[in-house]
Chains A and B, each alone.
Chain A
């Protein structure tokens, strides 16, 4: 079953209600013209294709199934994605894949600032560059960047693997370059294949947590307090 929703004729609420009621099938959405929350909260194994650029929170809270956007996306693309696949052919602005728990987010173009902020298990593959403070406070999952990363990559990162093929403007606090082991090459192979992108896994560098912010260090408190503690 395939249905088309023209957002110049159908309301956003009507569209999302229909997508939430569906249990299977494919859906095409036309004329999104930057609308917010397009195909948010999908909870069934359906395939949604959007022709045109979307606004905020497209495919937010994505539970299962696939959403493909033939265009660009604004803030919060696939935020809190749990599983399934979200793909855009263009670029995404801020906070793509924020707090994602699982699933795969593919951005064929560039991602803006704070891509993968607080990611908790999602895999994100970006064909172009990512903006500043990407993977800020990342906790789990993989971020693969075929282009460059802007300043403060992985600031205050807990865990997660950040793979960057191009340059990194600067690493954030407690983020360090790490050895690429066989298991990481396997991860990269798997993710690049799933994303449909051709790149040599050996060309990527890996970054992750130095784990220096995990624990309290007595050296970090000032001398006066240290003296009081000593007494």
Chain B
């Protein structure tokens, strides 16, 4: 199963409430994915300032807050730029003027006890195993403001119930993805993408889809073009919700077994696995509702 929600705020009206509304939607998708949950929040950020969200999954193994600061210190030497640290439970957000992609790769190569959940000027990702409501409250989703969010509740089928197997997945700057379904050619695709310079941190099929989009977009594709290629190259079942720097997109495979419903008002676009998540949103009674067509790319941009 798995539950997906996405909320894209077209106007300023609900931006202070992005987190609260996303938490309401996530709560409704609990039954579709009680194993674990995660969310990505996009806000305006500061130009040139990269945030790197990190996870120390095995806090029990003796990771302490000081370790974050020690890691940041080493990273400063690599980047030649200062790194600020904000610790949130077992996550930390590093902020720097340095190169985000370099920072991500250095942490993957040199800090195996950490997972890099996201990097970019606009995005932060938080995820954990356990009850989705508890996950939302532990990382204080409800207090967050921003422009768009995507979130996921997981019922694991293709890999173990671990925080690292939870969604959203992000490999490229400001790009992330949540997935309901399963891919059948992810091993082959992972190998191909690694040869093209993508790096992966899990055995999860959905991370490969995120890596695929990051690679395409790094090659110059727009999100629409990247998804057009994804339709040809990804084999399996999927409903994706994708967040990028300035937008939000949806794609379902051509068979479309995995559910999706979209609602749009003048202030927001919302997508979910089920209508009951959307039913929580303000002004929903005036929304235009539709089921996304199979194999059709839908995207919205803050700049259009």
Contact = CB atoms under 8 A, between A and B. Distances in A.
Nearest to A111: B291
B276 A93 contact: no
Contacts of B276: 33-36, 55
A132 interface: yes
B279 interface: yes
Interface residues of A, number: 17
Interface in A31-69: 33-36, 53, 55-56
B98 to A, nearest CB: 45
A13 to B, nearest CB: 14
Contacts of A74: 259, 261, 274-275
A112 B291 contact: yes
A132 B276 CA distance: 24
A85 interface: no
A113 B274 contact: no
A94 B259 contact: yes
23 contacts: A33-B276, A33-B279, A33-B280, A34-B28, A34-B274, A34-B275, A34-B276, A34-B278, A34-B279, A36-B276, A55-B274, A56-B274, A72-B275, A72-B289, A74-B259, A74-B261, A74-B275, A75-B259, A91-B289, A93-B259, A94-B256, A112-B291, A132-B256
Contacts of B294: 113, 131-132
A75 B291 CA distance: 11
A53 B256 contact: no
Contacts of A91: 289, 291
Interface string A112-139: 1100000000000000000110000000
Given A53-B279, A132-B294, 12 more contacts: A33-B276, A34-B274, A34-B275, A34-B278, A53-B289, A72-B289, A91-B289, A91-B291, A93-B259, A94-B256, A94-B259, A131-B294
Contacts of B279: 33-34, 53
A123 B28 CA distance: 33
B257 to A, nearest CB: 8
Interface residues of B, number: 14
Contacts of A132: 256, 294
B181 to A, nearest CB: 14
Q: Which of B259, B275, B278, B294 has the most CB of A within 10 A?
A: B275
A35 B275 CA distance: 9
Interface in B100-130: none
A74 B276 CA distance: 10
A56 B294 CA distance: 19
A53 B275 contact: yes
B253 to A, nearest CB: 12
A170 to B, nearest CB: 13
A149 to B, nearest CB: 14
Nearest to B252: A113
A94 B279 CA distance: 19
A75 to B, nearest CB: 6
Interface in B230-279: 256, 259, 261, 274-279
A36 B279 CA distance: 13
A217 B274 CA distance: 44
Contacts of B289: 53, 72, 91
A169 to B, nearest CB: 11
Nearest to A133: B255
B236 to A, nearest CB: 17
A89 to B, nearest CB: 13
Nearest to B258: A94
Nearest to B290: A91
Interface string A126-160: 00000110000000000000000000000000000
Interface string B71-92: 0000000000000000000000
B302 to A, nearest CB: 28
A94 B257 CA distance: 8
Nearest to B28: A34
